[in-house]
């Protein structure tokens, strides 16, 4: 009976540690995504993602409110659509749009010295998507 109790307690402890580790990793990824957002997106989409950042005024088009993506998609965050749109893998309604195609430009502000050969690192982009998902209203 003592051995069985020890196994059960040990198993529960292992599950709790795994959950805590996963939560910490997710929180760190969201924080990293927030930094990527602040450097690459906030100038146009605003510091809180609600559109109308400082740099948009000369573009003639108000950038969309990124905090309402889930709301505009039946309560589900359109992660794959956002990934493809931001990377420039979808045809845009306006080919002259001010929205950069990050697959071509890279993360210029995250890596101002050309780090990562101007490429968008998948981990950075995944963190950005996690952050955007976390700010949905």
> Would you give the end-to-end CA distance of the chain in angstroms?
50
Integer Cα distance of 126 and 122 in angstroms: 6
* Domain ranges across the chain: 2-134
pLDDT of residue 91: 81
State whether residue 136 is helix, strand or coil. coil
pLDDT of residue 13: 53
Band (63; pLDDT cuts 50, 70, 90): confident
Integer Cα distance of 5 and 46 in angstroms: 54
Inter-residue contact 31 to 102 (CB < 8 Å): no
Band (104; pLDDT cuts 50, 70, 90): confident
pLDDT of residue 30: 94
**10 Å Cβ neighbour count for 118?**
12
Quote the pTM value: 0.74
Band (17; pLDDT cuts 50, 70, 90): low
Integer Cα distance of 122 and 137 in angstroms: 25
pLDDT higher at 86 or 57: 86
């Amino acid at each position: 009976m003592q051995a069985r109790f020890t196994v059960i307690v040990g198993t529960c402890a292992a599950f709790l540690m795994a959950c805590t580790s996963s939560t910490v990793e997710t929180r760190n990824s969201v924080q990293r995504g927030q930094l990527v957002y602040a450097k690459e997106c906030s100038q146009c989409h605003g510091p809180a993602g609600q559109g109308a950042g400082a740099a948009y005024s000369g573009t003639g088009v108000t950038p969309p409110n990124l905090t309402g993506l889930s709301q505009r998609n039946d309560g589900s965050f359109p992660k794959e659509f956002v990934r493809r749109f931001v990377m420039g893998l979808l045809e845009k309604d306006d080919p002259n749009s001010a929205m950069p195609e990050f697959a071509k430009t890279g993360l210029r502000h995250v890596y101002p010295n050309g780090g990562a050969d101007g490429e968008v690192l998948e981990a950075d982009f995944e963190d950005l998507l996690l952050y955007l998902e976390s700010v949905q209203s």
